[in-house]
């Protein structure tokens, strides 16, 4: 590969990583390509073009956000891949600053941002971008709960932090994406970047992002002598600070701390992609200076990816709480990255086919830093012919109900409504406010009922006895009586609530109302054809097929039969009133209203025959907005959609 091909390849992967949030190679592979380019350019320094990837600090700004010029550049760091390189860095530092000390910090695998405060109030947040110009993501950053909107002192300050997604959140998000038929994110960093750069801050808010602050960029009327002092001060202001920051007098001490981090001794709840070694003294930093790309007073140590071979002994299928069937590999135990690994997720059948994984294969697994082990490749040279092709089962391994894979989706899921693997989630949905609205049946009570085998389906709730309920933990006589009354009252609910409560995929509360108005009775709904269903607005062919599949499962029909026997209403009762002033009008709600919740405002609009949509388009008639309205308000202005404040809305519904 010549030098120009290498530059083009790096530009391609840089664009995928920073702009599209869809990397095709690992960070380590990218670093090795960059290192090769730097080596080739060093041989001909006079021929390096100004647009070479080696001249860039980071990525490019994406379309859709305003650009922000950073007051202090958000520089990248020089990478080190061996302890010898750290010792060489130490030698260069000590030649200039013999008494320099170091601070070692974990390098969070996330998205770097700057946070600006004026007189202690959060005014703007921006992504790193190319280090000089980033993207204004203030509204999205305001959804990150750990970012203080007001500091404990009225200071004017800019800090730098790393937005990340905790592993627990990452796993839950990927499970939900697979449930929705979407491709899972490759790693938490990829997920965090994609979440922070959503044009709709409402989506960002649902992703439960977090942040750790690690540097003071600038501050008005205050100075510090040491980096460690500035970290302590930012901690006092109320920032969530990088949790591992060790002051070391020598590089040997720093290397010991790096080894400790690499072994996972801190048990961090997020992924890291290395450790950072920084000179602590501010005067020392000024003396050492910076290049156009990176400071000379800091270096990032990248843990080399550890790879080992092991053998796949078997593949078993696990059923998640959402009914998704996930294949998992059972492997010969192998010690890697400080832990013994004997299992690895295979995600889905497409992943298995793409990597050509078979039972009995010898595979290469990888683990870098604290990142979860993954199967990198199959060593096909070690195949002996006895390997077996894995097939996803036709029936759920837990409840034996049929499984289905909707067209265009990666997830295979169980269709059984009473599947023990997903029963708790189904019941929690059934009793929720927008469904059957049974007060007093929270997750703790539901789990007790399941553990004591008092219920095995949603319909069993209506056959509970007061003497059984009163024996549950933290359930006194009054609470038991209230619960029994709530169950009885829920039988009178409108058909729309029952349809939503059934938990049919992609049939939400709004679709439940649409279907109830269209079919009037549960019996009519159950016997509807694919053509009838798919022709309804807001339903479409995918949801129509989900409905057909749901009623084709015997478990679900049996459960509905028991609901009927218990006396649950199956007819449309909430008829529209005579006042249809909002008929054929579409509303979008954004921001916080002073006198209504969004559900209450939606109910008012629908009671007058209107429709509430989740997104703004040219077909939107009104956008009702309140405090802290997000990007929907901006889009409405661009499309010249009529805007309503709460006072305007109140006049319309008088």
Interval 543-568: pLDDT, tens: 898 899 899 988 899 999 999 999 99
Q: Label residue 78 by pLDDT band (50, 70, 90).
A: very high
**Residues 515/525, Cβ–Cβ less than 8 Å:** yes
Instruction: Give the tens place of pLDDT for each residue, 118-169.
Output: 999 999 999 998 899 999 999 899 989 889 988 999 999 999 999 999 988 8
The highest-level CATH class for domain 67-170+186-301 is: alpha beta
Q: Where are the beta strands (DSSP E) in 230-361?
A: 245-248, 272-279, 298-301, 306-319, 324-336, 339-345
Kindly report the number of other CB atoms within 10 A of residue 422's CB atom: 24
Q: Is the pLDDT of residue 178 over 60?
A: yes
The model's confidence at residue 364, banded by pLDDT at 50, 70 and 90, is very high
pLDDT of residue 20: 59
Question: Which segments of 452-594 does DSSP mark as H helices, in order?
Answer: 466-469, 477-490, 495-501, 509-519, 522-526, 530-534, 540-551, 554-565
pLDDT of residue 64: 63
pLDDT band at 17 (very low <50, low <70, confident <90, very high): low
Query: Whole-number mean pLDDT of the chain?
Result: 87
pLDDT band at 335 (very low <50, low <70, confident <90, very high): confident
- According to CATH, the superfamily of the domain at 586-652 is BRCT domain (3.40.50.10190)
How far is the C-alpha of 53 from the C-alpha of 36, rounded, in Å? Answer: 12
Share of the chain above pLDDT 70, in %: 94
Q: Quick check: 337 pLDDT over 50?
A: yes
pLDDT band at 304 (very low <50, low <70, confident <90, very high): confident
Mean pLDDT of 369-378: 74
For 3-55, CATH number out of 3.90.226.10, 1.10.10.10, 1.10.287.610, 1.20.58.1030 equals: 1.10.287.610
Of 62-71, 146-155, 388-397, the one with minimum mean pLDDT is: 62-71
Helix and strand numbers (H, E) in the chain are 24, 22
Res 204: pLDDT:
85
pLDDT reported for residue 369: 46
Quote the pTM value: 0.57
pLDDT of residue 310: 95
φ, ψ at 642 (rounded to 5°): -65, 130
Residues of the chain with CATH 3.40.50.10190: 586-652
Residue range(s) occupied by CATH 2.40.50.140 in the chain: 306-382
Q: What is the pLDDT of residues 432-466, one digit of tens each?
A: 888 999 988 888 888 889 888 899 899 999 999 98
Looking at the chain, which residues constitute the CATH 1.10.150.20 domain(s)?
415-565
Looking at residue 269, what is its pLDDT?
86
pLDDT confidence of residue 221: 93
CATH 2.40.50.140 for domain 306-382: yes
Element at 29 (helix H, strand E) = helix 27-43
Superfamily of domain 415-565 in CATH is: 5' to 3' exonuclease, C-terminal subdomain (1.10.150.20)
Q: Residues 173-177: what's their mean pLDDT?
A: 78
Catalytic: 107?
yes
Which is more confident, 235 or 574?
235
Rg (Cα) of the chain, in Å, rounded? 29
Decide if pLDDT at 60 tops 60: no
pLDDT(61) > 60 = no
Average pLDDT value for residue range 18-41: 76
CA distance 515 to 524: 10
Residues 58-86, mean pLDDT to the nearest whole number: 82
Catalytic residue among 20, 91, 107, 308: 107
């Amino acid at each position: 590969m010549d030098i120009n091909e290498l530059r083009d390849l790096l530009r391609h992967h840089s664009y995928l990583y920073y702009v599209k949030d869809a990397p095709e190679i690992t960070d380590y592979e990218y670093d090795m390509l960059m290192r090769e380019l730097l080596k080739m350019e060093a041989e001909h320094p006079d021929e390096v073009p100004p647009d070479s990837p080696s001249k860039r600090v980071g990525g490019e700004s994406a379309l859709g956000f305003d650009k922000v010029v950073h007051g202090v550049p958000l520089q990248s760091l020089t990478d080190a891949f061996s302890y010898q390189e750290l010792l060489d860095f130490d030698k260069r530092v000590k030649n200039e600053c013999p008494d320099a000390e170091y601070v070692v910090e974990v390098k969070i695998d996330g998205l770097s941002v700057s946070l600006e405060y004026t007189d202690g109030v959060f005014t703007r947040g921006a992504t790193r971008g190319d280090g000089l110009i980033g993207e204004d993501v203030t509204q999205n950053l305001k959804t990150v709960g750990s970012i203080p909107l007001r500091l404990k002192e009225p200071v004017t300050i800019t800090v730098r932090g790393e937005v990340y997604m905790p592993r627990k959140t990452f796993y839950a998000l990927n499970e939900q994406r697979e449930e929705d038929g979407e491709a899972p994110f490759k790693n938490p960093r990829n997920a965090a970047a994609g979440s922070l750069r959503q044009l709709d801050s409402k989506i960002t808010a649902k992703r439960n992002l977090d942040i750790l602050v690690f540097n003071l960029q600038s501050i008005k009327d205050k100075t510090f002598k040491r980096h460690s002092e500035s970290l302590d001060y930012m901690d006092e202001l109320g920032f969530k600070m990088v949790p591992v920051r060790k002051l070391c007098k020598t590089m040997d001490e720093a290397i010991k701390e790096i080894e400790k981090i690499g072994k996972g001794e801190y048990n961090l709840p997020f992924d890291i992609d290395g450790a950072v070694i920084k000179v602590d003294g501010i005067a020392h930093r000024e003396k050492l200076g910076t290049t156009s790309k990176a400071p000379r007073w800091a270096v990032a140590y990248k843990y080399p990816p550890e790879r080992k071979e092991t053998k796949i002994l078997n593949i078993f299928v696990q059923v998640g709480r959402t009914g998704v069937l996930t294949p998992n590999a059972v492997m010969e135990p192998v010690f890697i990255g400080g832990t013994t690994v004997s299992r690895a997720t295979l995600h889905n059948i497409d992943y298995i086919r793409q990597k050509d994984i078979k039972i009995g294969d010898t595979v290469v697994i990888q683990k870098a830093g604290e990142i979860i082990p993954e199967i990198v490749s199959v060593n096909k040279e070690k195949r002996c012919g006895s390997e077996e092709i894995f097939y996803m089962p036709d029936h759920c391994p837990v409840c034996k109900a049929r499984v289905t894979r909707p067209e265009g989706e990666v997830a295979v899921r169980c269709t059984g409504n009473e599947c023990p693997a997903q029963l708790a989630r189904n019941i929690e949905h059934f009793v929720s406010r927008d469904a059957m609205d049974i007060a007093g049946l929270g997750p703790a009570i539901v789990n007790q009922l399941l553990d004591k085998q008092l219920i095995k389906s949603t319909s069993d709730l209506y056959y509970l006895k007061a003497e059984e309920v009163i024996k549950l933990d933290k359930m006194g006589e009054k609470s038991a009586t209230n619960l029994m009354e709530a169950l009885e009252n829920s039988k009178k609910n409108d058909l729309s609530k029952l349809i939503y409560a059934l938990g049919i995929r992609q049939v939400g509360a709004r679709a439940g109302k649409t279907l109830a108005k269209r079919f009037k009775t549960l019996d009519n709904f159950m016997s509807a054809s694919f053509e009838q269903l798919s022709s309804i607005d807001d339903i479409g062919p995918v949801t129509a097929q989900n409905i057909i599949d749901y009623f084709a499962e015997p478990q679900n029909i049996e459960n509905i039969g028991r609901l009927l026997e218990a006396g649950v209403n199956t007819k449309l009762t909430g008829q529209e009133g005579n006042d249809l002033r909002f008929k054929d009008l579409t509303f979008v709600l954004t921001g916080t209203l002073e006198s209504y919740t969004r559900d209450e405002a939606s109910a008012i609009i629908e009671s007058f025959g209107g429709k509430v949509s989740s997104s703004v388009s040219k077909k939107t008639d009104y956008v009702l907005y309140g405090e802290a309205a997000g990007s929907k308000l901006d889009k409405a202005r661009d499309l010249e959609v009529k805007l309503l404040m709460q006072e305007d809305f109140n006049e319309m519904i008088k």
